[in-house]
Amino acid sequence: MASTILLPLTHIQSFSHSQNFAKPLLLQRIPLSSSLSISNSHSKYVPAKAVSSYRGGTQAAIKQESIDTLTSESAKDNQTNPLSSKLVLVVGGTGGVGQLVVASLLRRNVKSRLLLRDPEKATTLFGEQDGELMQVYKGDTRRPEDLDPSIFEGVTHVICCTGTTAFPSKRWDADNTPEKVDWEGVRNLVSALPSSVKRVVLVSSIGVTKSNELPWSIMNLFGVLKYKKMGEDFLQRSGLPFTIIRPGRLTDGPYTSYDLNTLLKATAGQRRAVLIGQGDKLVGEASRIVVAEACIQVLDMEFTEGKIYEISSVEGEGPGTDAAKWEELFKGAQSQ
Ligand SMILES: NC(=O)c1ccc[n+]([C@@H]2O[C@H](COP(=O)([O-])OP(=O)(O)OC[C@H]3O[C@@H](n4cnc5c(N)ncnc54)[C@H](OP(=O)(O)O)[C@@H]3O)[C@@H](O)[C@H]2O)c1
């Protein structure tokens, strides 16, 4: 019996991580190879370049080597990856999974638009970026009035990785509870999205269909799984093309004391192998690196539209960023 209980307790701790962005990150601006016309007339639009950023001498000194490396790597990537036609709205882009999604989009030269409660966090995390490659809008998903249509202009894809702690914590301050974030916030966001978006990826959680059963009921004491399921259901009923990714307990990150170069180089260590399931049967842990990559990969897999997948990662070789391997994994999950 004891082992049955151990699983949710581990899971609980992970939901209760605290974020500390005390050590800012730096990134050399990535050169652009083509241009994009995006309206920036909305008052809440904050060009990434314009967001005031921390410029500590110590940081500048210790990160120079990393920046040089990133610059050469980015330049290499930019040669092979022209600026994509996608414009991906990332909601929760400063969070653990979200920061890896954004870093990976930057690396791939995919345009992103971040919707954040605190735009300064974007500069802290991602440094100064060209406004054509990354844009930052201020907004709180709990407030429908923040979700002005101009935020969604030109957006082709959406990745929503918002969340809060499962149990009362400082992150619930000002009523930022699971009910408000995972249910009302997701509902507001989905309601505000234009029907033209090609895919909405929502990061949810394993166990959402079993929130009344042990061990999940422990995790759900304050309703996090129930509210995540309500958010999922709302997206499913919205008529928008969606994919829901339900990770197990998250590992790796959030990265709070590294620069973006380190973020880009982060690996899931020994646990690179990926398990994907359907039907909320999968249990285990999932590297945030793997989850972020899965969110990006599904955008290009038509057959994942309208589907829900659980994901975890285990020891072994993984798909990395290989699209063919990811396709095999997602297809494999469907045939089980
Ligand atoms: N931790 C786990 O073990 C676990 C397991 C399964 C599933 N999940 C789920 O997986 C997802 C990603 O988890 P994570 O740990 O990587 O995320 P996280 O670090 O908790 O980040 C959550 C993000 O949501 C943003 N956010 C919170 N409230 C918001 C609001 N009202 N309006 C706009 N943005 C808001 C946060 O921004 P601020 O800086 O403004 O707060 C932050 O960027 C979450 O949905 C989480 O619940 C987690």
Structure confidence at residue 68 (pLDDT): 29
Q: What is the number of the ligand 1 atom nearest to the C-alpha of 97?
A: 16
Query: Distance between CA 175 and CA 164 in Å, rounded?
Result: 11
> How many angstroms separate the alpha carbon of residue 33 from the centre of ligand 1?
33
Mutate to test the pocket of ligand 1, among 21, 44, 97, 291 (most ligand atoms within 8 A of CB): 97
Q: Is residue 287 part of a domain?
A: yes
87 touches 151 (CB < 8 A): no
Is the minimum distance from the CB of 10 to ligand 1 under 6 angstroms?
Answer: no
How far, CA to CA in Å, does 270 sit from each of 114, 146, 246?
Answer: 31, 41, 21
Tally of structural domains, the chain: 1
Predicted pLDDT at 309: 98
Q: What is the pLDDT of residue 75?
A: 42
- Domain contains 63: no
Question: By residue range, what is the domain housing residue 324?
Answer: 242-336
Task: Specify if 259 maps to a domain.
Answer: yes
pLDDT means per 10 residues, the chain with 336 residues, are 29 35 26 25 42 25 27 46 91 95 95 96 90 96 98 98 96 97 98 98 98 95 98 98 97 74 73 94 94 98 98 94 97 86
Q: In this structure, what CATH number is given to the domain that contains residue 257? A: 3.40.50.720
**C-beta 203 within 6 A of ligand 1:** yes
pLDDT at res. 84: 87
Which residue in 103, 158, 95 sits closest to 126, CA to CA? 103
Would 166 be classed as within a structural domain?
Answer: no
- Residue 46 has a pLDDT of 54
Is 284 part of any domain?
yes
Query: 110 lies in a domain?
Result: no
User: Letter for the amino acid at 103?
Assistant: A
Ligand 1 center–CA 126 separation, angstroms: 18
- Whether 189 is in a domain gets the answer no
* pLDDT (0 to 100) of residue 37: 23
Q: What is the pLDDT of residue 328?
A: 97
Q: Ligand 1, closest atom to CA 180?
A: 31
Kindly report the pTM of this predicted structure: 0.82
In a domain, 182, yes or no: no
